[in-house]
Amino acid sequence: MRRVYITGAAGFIGFHLARLFLAEGFRVHGHDGMTPYYDPALKRRRLSVLAQSEGFSFTEGMLEDQAGLAADVAAFRPGLLVHLGAQAGVRYSLEAPRSYLSSNVEGTFNVLEAASTAGVPHLMIASTSSAYGASEGMPWRETDKADFQVSLYAATKKAAENLSHAWSHLHGLPVTVFRFFTVYGPWGRPDMAPWKFTRAILAGEPIEVYGEGRMFRDFTHAGDLVRAIRLLADVPPRPPAEGGPVAEGDSLSPVAPWRLVNIGNGEKVSLDDFIAAIEAACGRRAVRRMMEMQKGDVRATWADTTLLRRLTGYAPRTGIREGMAEFVAWFRDYHHPAGT
């Protein structure tokens, strides 16, 4: 498994994961479409950091290019494929719904085909806490019913989960699907709240607070997330008949070498506390413009991380004040590097 193929490698999470594997001496091949959903200059900056490692190589291409993707995976011969590439964003799915179908559904199917054809021993696929949708009874467990998604983004990610399970059953491909919860940290996306709030607060501009501040999120630091992915890479699911009895609360499929795992901080933080952490890091108060909830949003997210701890012995632990202080320091340096 010393060769890792990562789709979405120029993205926020892909960048952090590639750096982690490279630091451990792995060969990493990245794949990314470099789409203009947000400024590609940020993606190029991330790639320039990764390119400083001799172990990194990269292909620019779209997930929808079945032949190109398959050839690229086959040529690299990875021991692990981590599929992070996707059209992200709940709110943007209201504006450009077809891009989610092509990237998240068709693109994921192409990844499944490419992985099987190349004989990849373990495929890992990123999903989202949004897949839980209108499910109640938090904290959410992997075995909870998740049939009522409230955004097209979430629906396409749930569809990708279902496709991967069927493919795993039909072809015997070991698949780990991980649902991550509100990831933040250095090198994050400009469309996400940490970036938008930090930029506005530092500029003395108002921030839009949706749900009138009465919302909760399980904020997960990017460094914690990729460490969990790295550890899960070493415990690929086996068919139940080979792995022995399934432990209570495990999400291992009864018919396929397929598993679903939450990756979250295991606590819910109010939007008010999140904003307070940014204010503390910025050293100034926010001007708040209270707004109603947007379509597709959920009131709260909260992960049960028992399965992650049982499989890896690890649980994310970065607190929101520590994490946002790190993000704000990075944000200032990114826009005004020392010495400029």
Which residues belong to the active site? 153
Task: Mark 71-109 as b/e (b = at least 16 C-beta within 10 Å).
Answer: bbbeebebbbbbbbbbbbbbebbeeeeebbbebbbbbbb
Q: Cis omega (within 30 of 0) on the bond before 139?
A: yes
> How far apart, in whole angstroms, are the C-alpha atoms of residue 293 and residue 248?
36
Q: Are 181 and 262 within 8 A, CB to CB? A: yes
Q: Which of 84, 160, 128, 144 is nearest to 263 (CA)?
A: 128
Paired tokens of 86: 């996707």
> How far apart, in whole angstroms, are the C-alpha atoms of residue 281 and residue 265?
20
Q: Are 149 and 107 within 8 A, CB to CB? A: no
Q: Are 83 and 5 within 8 A, CB to CB? A: no
Q: Which of 253, 249, 11 is nearest to 126 (CA)?
A: 11
> How far apart, in whole angstroms, are the C-alpha atoms of residue 16 and residue 298?
27
Count how many Cα atoms sit within 13 Å of the Cα of residue 277 in the half-sphere of its side chain. 22
Whole-number Cα distances in Å, 219 to 248, 292, 331:
26, 21, 18
Q: Are 4 and 80 within 8 A, CB to CB? A: yes
Q: Are 252 and 243 within 8 A, CB to CB? A: yes
Q: CA 269, 275, 281, 283 torsion: positive or negative?
A: negative
Rama region for 185: left / alpha / beta (φ>0; ψ in -120 to 50; rest): left
* Strand, coil or helix: 209: strand
Rama region for 92: left / alpha / beta (φ>0; ψ in -120 to 50; rest): alpha
